[in-house]
Chains A and B, each alone.
Chain A
Amino acid sequence: MSATQDKARAKLAEAARLRALFEAAGARAVETTLLQPADLLLDLYGEDIRARAFTTQDPLRGEMMLRPDFTVPVVQMHMTDGANRARYCYSGQVFRRQEDDPERATEYLQAGYEVFDCGNPALSDAEVFATIAGALAPLDLRVAIGDIGILSAAIRGLRTSAPRKAALLRHLWRPRRFRALLDRFSDGSASKPRRKILDQADPFAKAGPVIGLRSRAEVEARLATLRAEADEPPISALEVELIDDLLALQAKAPVALSHLQDLAVDLPAIQPAVQGMERRLDALGDRGIDVETLDFEASYGRTSMEYYDGFVFGFFADGRPDLPPVATGGRYDALTRVLGQGRAIPAVGGVIRPDLTLRLGTEGGR
């Protein structure tokens, strides 16, 4: 009994200590409610969130979810208050349903630091990263960084149709789906299975009656899209190779940067994002981060972090693949646009798991 109590108290104290560090760095401490409206989270994350968050029913407010993270409510609060520049910090529980792994915690603490700033993004990125890194300094963790903005710039720069680019961008976070789309758009097979329906004089000849909300006009519009798609030339092998090269890139940050600068000669669309990365690495260096040791992984953040759209990072305990990341974070400009109803404020943030810093600290100290 008392051992469990001690542990729980130690975790809370660790969360409070981290939050105090963030406050000392200039952030205002904020609280958010545990129960969050489900519709907003469902709109942001899609149906998959139901497998990851606890849903409950409120008789008056409808479906609610136990806070799966702080970012969404903090962004919402910031966008409602209307301020432009702000720094926030927080600590408290988040809740995650686990359907596949009983070892993973369903409830744990997070301490976080979020910066909303219209100024130089490289400086805010570096500020958040250095603040998180500073708090974790005694633990000697492995760090991975990435940049979703470089990936999306590469896709936007492809010499292909807007619908194809939109489809690829939409599935950037689902690597399997992304790969299937890229293959389909590049080997000319995009239209083959469709030929039959597209070649028919009246595609609706054998179709049933119109039922449901999706109208005949919507079906016709998609048939037109499919026809245009069938006439679209495949994405060139050269461009696919460049994208593959980019997705596979893993190197220490300075080496990765020079590789990206080479890639930008053939993929000029990524030039601004690569320059942004260079400024970020400089800003990190100015903050005393040894960028030589940072692992850059171009695909980092593609599987789990749907709302990040620029710089992303994670801190991991080396040699402990059983543990989830100790800290994660990144830039989420687009999320502020979605939640700001027209307004957008560039934002970047990160969270630390106090239970893990505590555990690694004690294990390391033994």
Chain B
Amino acid sequence: MTLKLGVPSKGRLMEKTFEWFGNHGVGMGRAGSEREYAGAVDGVDDIDLVLLSAGEIPRELAAGRIHMGVTGSDLVREKLPMWDSVVTEMAEMGFGHADLVIAVPDHWVDVETLDDLDAVAAAFRARHGFRLRIATKYHRLIRNHLRLHGVADYQLVDSQGATEGTVRNETAEAVADITSTGETLRANHLRILSGGPVHKSQATLFMSLTAPWDEAALGAKEALKAKLDLLD
């Protein structure tokens, strides 16, 4: 059996991943044509490159269908309940930085913190008859964060894209989304709450705790760890 290593199948995330492994002496590239989802590794034996959508890598790691995988730490925490019992972080890769933040309309000058958001949610519900809507695709992370900080009287509405536009379109009162510079939020007249992000995400190399290992796969793991300076 070979070690299956899942990496993002396209875009900057794929390029950066190849570059990161390349800098550690592990050559990676796509095999065949631009459109073919197959990859090759050289520098370490017995590794199969599995090209996957970054959003599916957490699921494949949890199911043990791949031994290792590169994806955002935000996606692992969002998609896997009790994530640290099914995967372990091997290395933070230093790119793909993004913060999961909660943002409100800039004209809400009375709202700076989660405390304020909670107070406003109570008043909003009393005034409008429904719970204040927060548009997001990070349901688990945001719900846990708000529960931890004792925020009530809100509801999460699902938004898989163009989340920053939901407030202007009046389908949400606030948003919770990933941002690296905050540029899109500002352009849409939204302001990030103070008190730090819900989660600071970056591309991370994860190892599955559920995948089956045989000698070849274990050998490949040790060889890879040596290349990546990850030996214990």
Q: Across the interface, do B189 and A209 meet the contact criterion of CB distance under 8 Å? A: yes
A92–chain B nearest beta-carbon distance, Å: 27
Who on chain B is nearest to A46 by CB? Answer: B152
Considering only residues 182-218 of chain A, those with a C-beta below 8 Å from chain B are 193, 197, 203-204, 207-214, 216, 218
Q: Across the interface, do A222 and B153 meet the contact criterion of CB distance under 8 Å? A: no
Query: Binary interface profile of A, 90-101, with partner B (CB < 8 Å = 1, else 0)?
Result: 000000000110
Q: Across the interface, do B81 and A214 meet the contact criterion of CB distance under 8 Å? A: no
- Chain A residues positioned under 8 Å from B147 (CB to CB): 48, 51
Q: Which of A47, A99, A197, A207 is in CB contact (< 8 Å) with B146? A: A47
Q: Which of A47, A210, A223 is in CB contact (< 8 Å) with B154? A: A47
- A203 touching B109 in the complex, CB below 8 Å, given contacts A47-B143, A99-B82, A218-B127: yes
Q: CA separation between A223 and B120, bound complex, in Å?
A: 11
Answer whether residue B24 sits at the interface, using C-beta atoms and an 8 A cutoff: no
Answer whether residue A219 sits at the interface, using C-beta atoms and an 8 A cutoff: yes
A210–chain B nearest beta-carbon distance, Å: 5
- Chain A residues positioned under 8 Å from B107 (CB to CB): 204, 207-211, 216, 219
Answer whether residue B37 sits at the interface, using C-beta atoms and an 8 A cutoff: no
- A174 touching B152 in the complex, CB below 8 Å, given contacts A214-B124, A223-B109: yes
Q: Which of B131, B143, B150, B155 is in CB contact (< 8 Å) with A51? A: B143
Answer whether residue B46 sits at the interface, using C-beta atoms and an 8 A cutoff: no
- Chain B residues positioned under 8 Å from A176 (CB to CB): 150
Q: Of the listed stretches B4-12, B15-23, B67-75, B165-173, name the one at the interface; the rest are far from the partner chain.
A: B165-173
Q: Across the interface, do B167 and A212 meet the contact criterion of CB distance under 8 Å? A: yes
A57–chain B nearest beta-carbon distance, Å: 12
Answer whether residue B156 sits at the interface, using C-beta atoms and an 8 A cutoff: yes
Who on chain A is nearest to B168 by CB? Answer: A211
Q: CA separation between A237 and B113, bound complex, in Å?
A: 26
Q: Which of B110, B131, B143, B150 is in CB contact (< 8 Å) with A174? A: B150
- The contact sample of 19 A-B pairs, CB cut-off 8 A, is A47-B146, A102-B82, A177-B149, A203-B110, A209-B107, A211-B167, A211-B188, A212-B105, A212-B168, A212-B172, A213-B128, A214-B120, A214-B124, A218-B123, A218-B127, A222-B119, A222-B123, A223-B109, A223-B110
Answer whether residue B106 sits at the interface, using C-beta atoms and an 8 A cutoff: yes
Please list the 5 inter-chain residue pairs (A to B) with the smallest Cβ-Cβ separation, ordered nearest first.
Answer: A177-B150, A208-B106, A208-B189, A174-B150, A212-B167
Answer whether residue A50 sits at the interface, using C-beta atoms and an 8 A cutoff: yes
Answer whether residue A170 sits at the interface, using C-beta atoms and an 8 A cutoff: yes
Q: Which of A46, A100, A166, A209 is in CB contact (< 8 Å) with B81? A: A100
Considering only residues 135-158 of chain B, those with a C-beta below 8 Å from chain A are 139-140, 143-144, 146-147, 149-150, 152-156
A314–chain B nearest beta-carbon distance, Å: 22
Q: CA separation between A221 and B119, bound complex, in Å?
A: 12
Q: Across the interface, do B105 and A214 meet the contact criterion of CB distance under 8 Å? A: yes
Q: CA separation between A210 and B167, bound complex, in Å?
A: 10
Q: CA separation between A99 and B144, bound complex, in Å?
A: 11
Who on chain A is nearest to B120 by CB? Answer: A222
Please report the number of residue pairs spanning A and B whose Cβ atoms sit closer than 8 angstroms: 101
- A211 touching B189 in the complex, CB below 8 Å, given contacts A48-B143, A222-B119, A222-B123: yes
- Chain B residues positioned under 8 Å from A178 (CB to CB): 150
Q: CA separation between A89 and B189, bound complex, in Å?
A: 54
Q: CA separation between A208 and B187, bound complex, in Å?
A: 10
B158–chain A nearest beta-carbon distance, Å: 11
Q: Across the interface, do A197 and B131 meet the contact criterion of CB distance under 8 Å? A: no
Answer whether residue A42 sits at the interface, using C-beta atoms and an 8 A cutoff: yes
Who on chain B is nearest to A220 by CB? Answer: B110
**In the complex, how many residues of chain B place their beta carbon closer than 8 angstroms to a beta carbon of chain A?**
41
Q: Across the interface, do A207 and B110 meet the contact criterion of CB distance under 8 Å? A: no
Query: Binary interface profile of B, 94-111, with partner A (CB < 8 Å = 1, else 0)?
Result: 000000000001111110
- Chain A residues positioned under 8 Å from B28 (CB to CB): none
Answer whether residue B45 sits at the interface, using C-beta atoms and an 8 A cutoff: no
Answer whether residue B90 sits at the interface, using C-beta atoms and an 8 A cutoff: no
Q: CA separation between A156 and B110, bound complex, in Å?
A: 26
Answer whether residue A171 sits at the interface, using C-beta atoms and an 8 A cutoff: yes
Q: Across the interface, do B173 and A214 meet the contact criterion of CB distance under 8 Å? A: yes
Answer whether residue A30 sits at the interface, using C-beta atoms and an 8 A cutoff: no
Answer whether residue B122 sits at the interface, using C-beta atoms and an 8 A cutoff: yes
Q: Across the interface, do A42 and B109 meet the contact criterion of CB distance under 8 Å? A: no
Answer whether residue A256 sits at the interface, using C-beta atoms and an 8 A cutoff: no
Q: Which of B128, B139, B153, B168 is in CB contact (< 8 Å) with A46? A: B153
Answer whether residue A130 sits at the interface, using C-beta atoms and an 8 A cutoff: no
13 extra interchain contacts, Cβ-Cβ under 8 A, other than A46-B152, A203-B109? A43-B131, A47-B154, A51-B147, A99-B81, A167-B119, A180-B150, A193-B112, A209-B189, A214-B108, A218-B124, A221-B123, A222-B120, A222-B123
B123–chain A nearest beta-carbon distance, Å: 6
Which of the listed residues B109, B113, B150 has the most CB atoms from chain A within 10 Å of its own CB? B109
Q: CA separation between A47 and B115, bound complex, in Å?
A: 17
Answer whether residue A291 sits at the interface, using C-beta atoms and an 8 A cutoff: no
- Chain A residues positioned under 8 Å from B149 (CB to CB): 177
A176–chain B nearest beta-carbon distance, Å: 6
B139–chain A nearest beta-carbon distance, Å: 8
